[in-house]
Amino acid sequence: MADQGAMAADRFFDLRWQRGARDLIGPLTRLYGTAHDIPALMARVRAVLSAHAARRPDDLRALDLVRDVDPDWFLSQDQVGYVLYADRFAGRLADLPAHVGYLRDLGVTYVHLMPCLRPRPGPSDGGYAVMDYGAIDPRLGTMEDFEALTRALRAAGMDTCIDMVLNHTAREHAWAEAARAGDPFHQRFYHIFDDDRLPREHERTLVEIFPDQAPGNFTFDPDLGKWVWTTFNDYQWDLNWSNPEVLLAILDAMLTLANRGVTVFRLDAVAFMWKRLGTTCQNLPEVHDIIQALTQATRVAAPAVIHKSEAIVAPRDLVPYLGTGRHAGRVANLAYHNSLMVQFWASLAARDTRLMTHVLKTHFPEGFRRACFATYIRCHDDIGWAITPEDTARFPPMTDWGHRDFLADFYNGSFPGSFARGADFQASAVTGDRRTNGSFASLAGLESATTPEEEGLAIARILLGHGLIASFGGIPLLYMGDEFGLLNDHSYLEDPDRAGDGRWMHRPAMDWAAVRTIPQGRTRAARIHAGTRAILAARKATPQLASHVPTRILDPGHPRLFVVERLAEDRVVTCLFNFSEEPQAISPWSLRLDPARRYADRLTGAPLRLEDGAVTLPAYGQIWLMPG
Ligand code: GLC
């Protein structure tokens, strides 16, 4: 029997390799064909894959089979993601399974554990400066704890997502240590320059990611006596992806983790992976070849695994991360919908949805092949106001900089009448650009609310956001604590390793005391939690909201409403969102509702009743209309 099992596994591997090789040869040839022997490289990739496939644990192998047969599993309306810092949520990894019931009650099917691989000591960009891809951060536990956790989550029907930091390693990673010790093989893993001539040339077209805390894109390393490319902090060394050894090494690291139970990899900062003089070195075509190579190779050895690209870029650059042209259906299955997030906040501040409707309607297709968005309202990062100037210019008197300044001021709370309590992040002396920090609830007005009425409005804004990401199409990602309105936390200022990075303000620890008040149903936390839970339950009960169903933005000519149609084959679901604190009315004709049919709201189950012939929404109200 065991022999037969092994034979079947070999046969599956061969079949998957035949399929995968077709999708690997193109990217590898384009990336490395001019300087390297491609058949030899293909053979090395195959050897890495087959070694990991042979070591794949039985339970994961069983999941591989399920997902190979049903590769669209992640498009189900049942999918809900939750993003947490293990230590801030539970303590150590071993303490997390005790909270699985809480997550299950919310409807979570996928848990993103924020950076949990071993980071460099001292400041580590929140763990995004990885020292060892094969080890768990000792403060969180051991690899055995991690495996046990992934098994516990799997048993509860949940995927485990972790960050795979692809653009850089810590300066203390073994590869960088070897490079610093003079090893030429590992020096080629990074972008190292003898003097600052080329770095200075590059700087002319590069932007600064952390102009405040880490200006410039290059760092002089005293050990090397040379310059190193460091897009982010000076201790994060950019990997040189034009060297196929980097691809092989990362693939090996990723598949090792896949065999430990990771089933979703968040590919961090992918936009920056390829460099070319005279460009911004962001979103270059080669990036999509690298992602295709990594994802399609993984599919051969571990088909249970999917990937999510983190590219926080302008709409035009975002779409290809979900697979367009030759890459359609062949890159990461998920990508963050950064534009939806930005437009949510922009509309909320302006009480005006016209820009949002325009951007989301014109720049995005209604669907993708074997891919969908990860929708979110807040995450651990700041909000960058990535709105294309030409889009803003369509709505005079708005101007690009005027609008950006308005948004930054509104969300740092200084704009007159603002309900938000956030803070500026990385104000650039060169461009004047400012980004924004703050938790969902604090930005939405819960922190500033002093009356029951203001509190009610803030809660409605939070639920508006949760409702938007749950119905838009894609997997909604809830950031830890946003399901019950956690506020900003300024305690990071007391920790020297964190004090320099204002993003910690919106990474508060889980407040289990507040969670315990939820069953009483009267506190703010309880109201937000109940609303969020109901939204997620309504999503799950509506197959028409699955992510393979096309998303069409409707422009009904109403400047306070945002309207999304989900074009299911049997019935169209029309989701309306009111972005103002005034009730709004709209005629059913503008919404293209069928007068011959009866509609009901999927959120409340209530039949649609017109008031004075119009569909009406209360302050920050939402309604998901579906014909019966
Ligand atoms: C991603 C992370 C961010 C980090 C950066 C560099 O954007 O989300 O927190 O600073 O990558 O690794």
Rounded to the nearest whole angstrom, what is the distance from the C-alpha of residue 496 to the centroid of ligand 1? 19
d(CA 133, CA 118): 7
**Annotated catalytic, 268?**
yes
Residue 336 Cα to ligand 1 midpoint, Å, equals 13
The low-confidence residues of the chain, meaning pLDDT below 50, are: none
What is the pLDDT, as a whole number, of residue 311?
97
In the block, residue with structure tokens 């496939």: 53
**Ligand 1 neighbours (beta carbon < 6 A):** 125-126, 128, 165, 232, 268-269, 310, 380-381
Give dist(CA 143, CA 300) in Å, integer: 24
Q: Write out pLDDT tens, residues 382-401.
A: 999 999 999 999 999 999 99
Q: Which residues contact 115 (CB under 8 A, 6 or more apart)?
A: 124, 126, 127, 128, 130, 137, 162, 163, 165
For 241, phi and psi rounded to 5 degrees?
A: -75, -5
Q: pLDDT of 12-65, one tens digit each?
A: 999 999 999 999 999 999 999 999 999 999 999 999 999 999 999 999 999 999
User: CA triplet 509, 149, 47: central angle to 5 degrees?
Assistant: 120
Residue whose Cα lies nearest atom 4 of ligand 1: it is 128
- Give me the amino acid identity at 60: L
How far is 117 from 442, CA to CA, in rounded Å?
30
Instruction: Name the residue at shortest CA distance from atom 5 of ligand 1.
Output: 269
**Is residue 310 flagged as an active site residue?**
yes
622: helix, coil or strand? strand
Contact 356, 344 (CB under 8 A): yes
Atom of ligand 1 nearest to the CA of 129: 12
Site to substitute for ligand 1 among 213, 381, 383, most atoms within 8 A of C-beta: 381
Given 3-state DSSP classes, what are the helix, strand and coil percentages for the chain, each rounded to the nearest 5?
A: 40, 15, 40
Q: Strand 572-578 and strand 599-601: pairing?
A: unpaired
| Ligand 1 atom 10 nearest Cα | 125
For residue 184, cis peptide bond before it (omega within 30 degrees of 0): no
Structure-block tokens of residue 70: 């049903």
Q: Which residue owns the Cα nearest ligand 1 atom 9?
A: 381
Residue nearest to atom 12 of ligand 1 (CA): 128
Q: Which two tokens stand for residue 452?
A: 């029951």
Q: How far apart are CA 6 and CA 171, in angstroms?
A: 41
List the residue whose alpha carbon is closest to atom 8 of ligand 1: 381
Q: Which of 23, 310, 391, 447 is catalytic?
A: 310
Asked if 561 and 617 touch (Cβ cutoff 8 Å), the reply is: yes
Q: Atom of ligand 1 at shortest distance to CA of 126?
A: 9
Write the CB contacts of 592 (distance below 8 Å, at least 6 apart in sequence): 554, 565, 574
CA distances from 245 to 169, 181, 289 (A): 15, 19, 15
Gap from CA of 451 to ligand 1 centroid (Å): 37
Give the CA radius of gyration of the chain.
Answer: 24
Strand extents, DSSP E, 14-76: none
Structural domains of the chain, with CATH: 73-169+252-545 (3.20.20.80), 174-238 (3.90.400.10), 551-627 (2.60.40.1180)
Point out the catalytic residue in the list 23, 147, 234, 268.
Answer: 268
pLDDT of residue 431: 86
Give me the amino acid identity at 456. G
CA 283-288-293 angle, to 5 degrees, is 150
CA distance linking residue 419 with residue 485, whole number of Å: 15
State the amino acid at position 106 in one-letter form: L
The Å distance, Cα 210 to ligand 1 centre, comes to 11
Describe the strand order of the beta sheet including 226-229 as a list of residue ranges.
192-193, 226-229, 218-221
Does residue 61 sit in helix, strand or coil?
helix
Cβ count near 211 (within 10 Å) = 16
Q: How many whole angstroms from 209 Cα to the centroid of ligand 1?
A: 10
State the residue for tokens 């906040």. Answer: 345
Separation of alpha carbons 628 and 607, rounded Å: 9
Query: Could you tell which of 130, 165, 207, 232 is best to mutate to test the pocket of ligand 1, judged by most ligand atoms within 8 Å of the CB?
Result: 232
CA distances from 69 to 63, 161, 162 (A): 10, 21, 24
- Going from the Cα of 39 to the center of ligand 1, the distance in angstroms, rounded, reads 35
What's the confidence (pLDDT) of residue 5?
79
3-state secondary structure of 425: strand
Residue of minimum CA distance from atom 7 in ligand 1: 269
Beta carbons of 535 and 603 less than 8 angstroms apart? yes
Q: Which of 130, 166, 268, 313 to mutate to test the pocket of ligand 1 (most atoms within 8 A of CB)?
A: 268
Q: What is the pLDDT of residue 7?
A: 81
Query: What CA–CA distance (Å, rounded) separates 361 from 2?
Result: 54
